[in-house]
Amino acid sequence: MNKFILLFLILFTSSAWSQSSMRRCTLLPITDSVGGAIGFKVFEEVEKELKNSNWCTYISNSAMINVFSRYRENLPQYLKTKEVLQTVAEKLKVGSIVRIGIVNEMKGVEVQIEVYGENGEDIYFLEKSVLTTDDVDMIASTAKNWLDMYSKMIPYDAKINGILGDQITLDVGKGYPIQVGQAFLVKRPVAKKKHPLLKKIVDWDTEVLAEGKIFSISDNQALGQVRIYKSDKKLAAGDWVRLEEYRQELIKDPTIDTDAKDNETLGTLGILSLGLFQTSSSVDTATPNGSTRMSGNLMGVDVRAEGWITRQYFAALEIVRSLGSLKKSSGNPTKTNVNATSNTIKLTGGYKYLPIGFFYGPQIDVYGGYANHTFDLDYSLPDGFGKNSISGLLFGTAANVPINREFRFFAAAEFMPFPTFKDDDGMYGTAKSASAMELEIGIKYQYTMRTTIDGSIESLQRKATFNSSYKEVSYSDNRLKIGLSFNF
């Protein structure tokens, strides 16, 4: 199960990096003909500009400096080779590799800039100029102007890096001018045109696949909804997105049906869940009279309220109660039928990690808190039946992953590392050890904008062992639960 979740998250969040965006860039070491006296200072100025730009997410090449240093004497030639550029693109996951060369002349310097694509041979931008000065600020200013020109030539504003039904996530530069409500076109490149002499890319042939609008933005990413499809081809990670001129209007959440009221919005405070379950329950005891097992089906209710303290921190209260009767399953109990009741109270808090930055995408919760599990059976000293509880700190993790627009898969695991056993009837005494663990997997169906129908299977194991003549008591439950969750 954990392997499935991990694979899903990797595929969902990382598939687009197989084709790196031209808006992810790096700057190669700047070479000159005076041992780096000019190149190093120009590099600092240009790198600072790229780090502060909003058209490019800058990726430092510092991890490769040691590699470059091995080729110091032939670095200008080394940085022109296709294999080196491909390695840089692969290691840094960039689509724009900026290379600047400086050659000292009798009266000034010759400056040249080239921007290569990730294949190491496509030249996206090429400029050369002879300056009558070797002033670092003038050289750096010239390079910055060229990069500004290049940024305006990039044939897209963002690339798709995730798809879920009609919803897409976009990789955009930090601070890139994008607005909620802005319309966009999805395009796919079908051919590129090169200059016959300079060999640089001068134009792209594209086909329009779809139209849509942006409805949410976070750092380096945006979330859009496709409204109209222009082709029967499916959208794919790596497709281009070109933003249109922004026109402000009310944007409805994509989960809202097109006939829903305009003023409907998703809740922002938390979630209230109510579930009914049937549990196949068993109780095992080891007493001076031998081992006994009682089993049967119990019915119960599970209520959980989760409040969002901030976007990523939450607190939750959960109350669970079940009741019914258990019958002899094995051994020779003096009571062959007993009434059974169990109660659980949990108070937890934790952190919600959003791998792609949006609630519609995968969610991973890590949390901790306190739990108390109480078990109450008709009293029978010979059989070890009575009232007791297991309580203490708990730790857990949960994953919530979209399958498509309507369905989400979720899984959770909890354990209590050092629980305390309390024996209300005094028959067991102090426990030598105690343990408690819960596992749950299920599916959520988006029934309305604010409501999901939930179905899950749970497995619960609680146990305590002793050094006395009463050696063990354990509780096992396998639950089938169905319920509703309300977003408020």
Neighbours of 481 (CB within 10 A): 20
Dihedral of CA 467/472/473/477: which sign?
Answer: positive
Q: Would you put residue 472 in left (φ > 0), alpha (ψ -120 to 50) or beta?
A: beta
Token digits for 89? 């693109």
Cα separation, 433 vs 422, whole angstroms: 12
Percentage of the chain modeled with pLDDT above 70: 86
Rg (CA), the chain: 32
pLDDT at 370 over 50: yes
Token digits for 29? 């070491």
pTM above 0.85, yes or no: no
The contacts of residue 40 (CB under 8 Å, 6+ apart) are 30
pLDDT at 1 over 90: no
Neighbours of 96 (CB within 10 A): 29
Cα separation, 217 vs 170, whole angstroms: 9
Banded pLDDT at 404 (limits 50, 70, 90): confident
The pair phi, psi for residue 150, each rounded to 5°, is -65, -40
Cα separation, 350 vs 315, whole angstroms: 7
Burial 386-420 (b: 16+ CB within 10 A, else e): bebbbbbebebbbbbbbeeeeebbbbbbbebeebe
Comparison of pLDDT for 127 and 197, the residue scoring more = 127
Cα separation, 198 vs 217, whole angstroms: 39
CB 32, CB 39: distance < 8 Å: yes
pLDDT at 22 over 70: yes
Cα separation, 465 vs 450, whole angstroms: 45
Average the pLDDT over 408-419 and give the result: 95
Banded pLDDT at 276 (limits 50, 70, 90): very high
Neighbours of 257 (CB within 10 A): 10
- Parallel, antiparallel, or unpaired: how do β-strands 24-27 and 96-105 relate? parallel
Burial 206-221 (b: 16+ CB within 10 A, else e): beebbebbbbbbeebb
- Which fold, 158-243? Thrombin, subunit H (2.40.10)
CA 416 to chain centre: 26
CATH superfamily of 270-487: OPCA outer membrane adhesin/invasin (2.40.128.100)
Cα separation, 325 vs 192, whole angstroms: 74
pLDDT at 172 over 80: no
Q: Would you put residue 448 in left (φ > 0), alpha (ψ -120 to 50) or beta?
A: beta
pLDDT value, residue 312: 81
pLDDT value, residue 76: 74
- Which fold, 24-153? Rossmann fold (3.40.50)
Delimit the domains of the chain by residue range: 24-153, 158-243, 270-487
Average the pLDDT over 111-115 and give the result: 93
The H-assigned helical ranges of 128-269 are 136-153
Average the pLDDT over 112-121 and give the result: 92
CA 179 to chain centre: 23
Q: How many CA atoms lie within 13 A of 435 on its CB side?
A: 9
Cα separation, 124 vs 154, whole angstroms: 8
